[in-house]
Amino acid sequence: MSGGLLALLDDVAAIAKVAAASLDDVATQASQAGAKAAGIVIDDAAVTPRYVVGFAADRELPIIGKIALGSLRNKLLILLPGALALATFAPWAITPLLMAGGLFLCFEGYEKLHGLVVDHGPAVASEGTVAAPDLDPGAVEKAKVAGAIRTDMILSAEIMAITLASVPTQSFTMQAAVLAVVGIGITVVVYGAVALIVKADDLGVLMARGRLAVTRALGRGLVKGMPGLLKLLGLVGTAAMLWVGGGIILHGAAEMGWKAPEYGLLAFAKQVGDAVGVASGFVAWFIHASGGALVGVLLGWLVALAMSAIRGVLR
């Protein structure tokens, strides 16, 4: 009896070790895949705050919560099963679809960059501004949440596609686990960061009313600094879209047989990094990311020209 019990305990211990190893593998794969999607995550965090502009302060967090729940539904109930079905029945389509998403990122990044450098005349109401005060606030909020969730669907699809492409040889179960972990983790990080960004000015106002001079100074600095931080975050998000989109296109082209652009850029980046010596890894990454961003700008410009021509024909 004792021998059987010891054998059972040994089996339980072995199963526990296998489970622990599997969890560790999932965490490792998820962290690597999440890192590759970092550029889209940055842009997602930069885009979302505009959807709460114009609402009362007590509605900001509930709105962000609704968008976060919609994002989770996008990832776990729609995109995750779709990605697994794609990997099972049409794995050959992953790279072309990923490149299509990368092209979309290039176009979006180019449009944002174009908007920064070209004067469009008098300012118009932003997408996040609540206009027409006679409208029902509940209906306006519902419309804004729906619009944010639609935008999130596009960014989430790219995140899940990048994640799936990062684990092409893993088992079905591992792919599902990694997709779920990345989907949940990125949603928590993005919308947690958005909540902090949106409520930072309220925290600054509260600190500015404190008794200590240091606290008041920090509060005033936080209130004054938030517009600049949001602008900087938007610039970083635009750059991230361009370098991620361009990088996806380069990598996809290499996967499909045209290796020269990506391999040439990697070799050049490494050569420059080695020549500099100091912080060679960062220098090589910066050169590689900059090259991807330039490719992204060029491709985004070409897509914009094509879309302009199509609109002209339709008119």
The single-letter code of the amino acid at 61 is L
**pTM to 2 decimal places:** 0.68
Q: pLDDT per residue over 183-240, tens digit each? A: 888 888 888 888 888 777 777 878 888 778 778 888 888 778 877 877 777 787 788 8
pLDDT at 305 over 90: yes
Distance CA 216, CA 223 (A): 11
pLDDT at 302 over 80: yes
- On the CB side of 191, how many CA atoms lie within 13 Å of its CA? 24
Distances in Å between the alpha carbon of 292 and those of 114, 161, 263, 277? 18, 19, 12, 22
Distance CA 107, CA 154 (A): 13
DSSP 50: G
What average pLDDT does the structure give for the chain? 77
The pLDDT score that the predictor gives to residue 48 is: 64
Residue ranges of the domains in the chain?
2-238
DSSP 195: H
Angle at 39 between CA 118 and CA 201, to 5 degrees: 75
Tokens encoding 136:
């029902």
The pLDDT score that the predictor gives to residue 28 is: 54
**pLDDT interval class at 50 (50, 70, 90):** low
**pLDDT interval class at 299 (50, 70, 90):** very high
Exposure class string for 230-247: b at 16+ Cβ within 10 A, else e: beebbeebbbbbbbbbbb
Distance CA 110, CA 47 (A): 15
The sign of the CA dihedral 141, 238, 109, 279 is negative
